[in-house]
């Protein structure tokens, strides 16, 4: 089996078309096409279905990709390291985060400051990702993790906070107790079909209490909720991390500060339990382990 042909095959799957793979590798399309055909002949299988808009791996092609792509990545990283006198860490780190994951992006940027030759590709999506099929090295998720075949490392723990713009308070006033939320337009993170959010807090006796708060606006994009807060459209429940930043910048003010949310959620880093991780992935996971202790306290 020609390893160079396998490398071209992996690059084509990740790029989604021969032309994009050609641009990324600086290899002529004709060469890539010829090498993949020779690889198909040697394996006696069809690796791609070919369309006008690009290529898509067949079922057998996808299975072959899942079995070889990490090994090819490791070989390429080994080759780069052997050819580098300074042994500088370099390569591509592929991560997946949820939308508006500011706390994760800051950590990734800190990693790049330590290793400036590492290029990061970040896929922002709310859907469940398949680390192999999507070509993702590390995914950051909360909630239902689907961790049957992956390692889930806890990274950060967060709760939510109520905020509002000054214009909103001047126009509508502000709630003094959680029950007062029922008299104001509210916005929160939510999913399609959801009509309210459950706000949980502890009373002065330390007893947990909960209130179902109807929302006029729900979104899976935190930036949309933040926009409503900044423009004075609603009382908004956002992550405490983001709330602190916006309050410090003077863009919003805290609401119901005497009733902090008692509910919290943990963000996890998900990665495959391979022994032979690339140098970049191994360094990134090590960096996350160093910083998660700070984040989790």
The verdict on 277 and 260 lying in the same domain is: no
The verdict on 64 and 100 lying in the same domain is: no
Question: For the residues 110-129, what does the mean pLDDT come to?
Answer: 88
Residue 121 has pLDDT above 60, yes or no: yes
The band of 138, judged by pLDDT with boundaries at 50, 70 and 90, is: very high
Q: Which residues pair with 24 in a beta bridge?
A: none
> Mean pLDDT: which of 35-39, 124-128, 273-277 is highest?
35-39
Judge whether 241 and 104 are in contact, CB under 8 Å: no
pLDDT of 297: 46
Tokens representing residue 5 in the block? 């042909």
Residue 133 has pLDDT above 80, yes or no: yes
The band of 294, judged by pLDDT with boundaries at 50, 70 and 90, is: very low
Residue 287 has pLDDT above 70, yes or no: yes
The band of 149, judged by pLDDT with boundaries at 50, 70 and 90, is: confident
157 compared with 96, residue with greater pLDDT: 96
Of 11-15, 71-75, 151-155, 262-266, where does mean pLDDT reach its minimum? Answer: 71-75
Q: Which of 295, 281, 269 is nearest to 154 (CA)?
A: 269
The per-residue pLDDT for range 21-49, each reduced to its tens digit, is 888 888 888 889 889 999 898 899 999 98
The verdict on 70 and 98 lying in the same domain is: no
Provide the CATH number for the domain around residue 9: 1.10.10.10
DSSP assignment string, 35-69:
HHHHHHHHHTS--EEEETTEEEE-HHHHHHHHHHH
Judge whether 197 and 237 are in contact, CB under 8 Å: yes
The verdict on 270 and 146 lying in the same domain is: yes
The band of 201, judged by pLDDT with boundaries at 50, 70 and 90, is: very high
Q: Rounded distance, CA 243 to CA 260, Å?
A: 12
The per-residue pLDDT for range 245-255, each reduced to its tens digit, is 899 999 999 99
Question: For the residues 73-85, what does the mean pLDDT come to?
Answer: 60
The verdict on 183 and 226 lying in the same domain is: yes
The band of 169, judged by pLDDT with boundaries at 50, 70 and 90, is: very high
Residue 13 has pLDDT above 80, yes or no: yes
Spatial CB neighbours of 99, under 8 Å, sequence gap ≥ 6:
124, 125, 126, 220, 221, 222, 223
pLDDT of 253: 97
Provide the CATH number for the domain around residue 292: 3.40.190.10
The verdict on 180 and 236 lying in the same domain is: yes
Residue 204 has pLDDT above 90, yes or no: no
The band of 127, judged by pLDDT with boundaries at 50, 70 and 90, is: confident
Q: Give me the helix-helix angle, 3-15 and 59-83, nearest 10°.
A: 110
The per-residue pLDDT for range 48-69, each reduced to its tens digit, is 988 877 888 999 989 888 888 7
The verdict on 24 and 46 lying in the same domain is: yes
The verdict on 163 and 103 lying in the same domain is: no
Residue 148 has pLDDT above 80, yes or no: no
The 10 Å Cβ neighbour count of residue 71 is: 14
Q: Rounded distance, CA 49 to CA 278, Å?
A: 29
Q: Give me the helix-helix angle, 3-15 and 29-43, nearest 10°.
A: 110
Provide the CATH number for the domain around residue 243: 3.40.190.290
Tokens representing residue 55 in the block? 């290529």
The verdict on 166 and 239 lying in the same domain is: yes
Largest CA distance in the chain: 74
Q: Rounded distance, CA 60 to CA 22, Å?
A: 23
Into how many domains does the chain fold? Answer: 3
pLDDT of 82: 56
Tokens representing residue 282 in the block? 């191994």
Residue 86 has pLDDT above 60, yes or no: no
pLDDT of 83: 55
The verdict on 214 and 241 lying in the same domain is: yes
The verdict on 124 and 75 lying in the same domain is: no
Domain region containing 169: 158-264
Spatial CB neighbours of 188, under 8 Å, sequence gap ≥ 6:
160, 197, 213, 215, 217, 218, 225, 236, 237
Question: For the residues 158-186, what does the mean pLDDT come to?
Answer: 95
Q: What is the CA radius of gyration of the chain?
A: 24
């Amino acid at each position: 089996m020609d390893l160079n042909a396998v490398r071209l095959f992996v690059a084509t799957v990740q790029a989604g078309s021969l032309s994009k793979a050609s641009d990324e590798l600086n290899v002529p399309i004709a060469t890539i096409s010829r090498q993949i055909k020779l690889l198909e002949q040697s394996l006696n299988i069809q690796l791609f279905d070919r369309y006008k808009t690009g290529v898509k791996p067949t079922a057998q092609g996808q299975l072959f990709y899942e079995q070889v792509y990490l090994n090819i990545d490791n070989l390429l990283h080994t080759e780069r390291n052997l050819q580098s006198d300074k042994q500088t860490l370099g390569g591509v780190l592929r991560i997946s985060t949820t939308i508006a994951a500011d706390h994760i992006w800051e950590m990734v940027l800190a990693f790049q400051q330590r290793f400036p030759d590492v290029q990061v590709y970040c896929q922002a999506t709310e859907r469940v990702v398949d680390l192999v099929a999507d070509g993702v090295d590390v995914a950051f998720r909360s909630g239902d993790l689907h961790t049957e075949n992956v390692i889930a490392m806890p990274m950060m723990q967060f709760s939510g906070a109520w905020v509002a713009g000054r214009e909103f308070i001047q126009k509508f006033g502000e709630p003094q107790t959680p029950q007062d939320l029922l008299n104001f337009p509210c916005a929160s993170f939510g999913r399609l079909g959801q009509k309210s959010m459950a706000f949980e807090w502890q009373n002065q006796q330390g007893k947990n209490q909960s209130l179902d708060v109807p929302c006029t606006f729900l979104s899976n994009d935190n930036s949309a909720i933040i926009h409503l807060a900044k423009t004075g459209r609603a009382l908004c429940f956002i992550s405490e991390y983001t709330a602190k930043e916006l309050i410090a910048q003077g863009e919003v003010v805290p609401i119901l500060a005497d009733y902090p949310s008692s509910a919290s959620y943990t963000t996890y880093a998900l990665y495959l339990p391979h022994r032979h991780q690339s140098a970049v992935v191994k360094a990134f996971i090590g960096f996350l382990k160093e910083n998660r202790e700070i984040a989790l306290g």
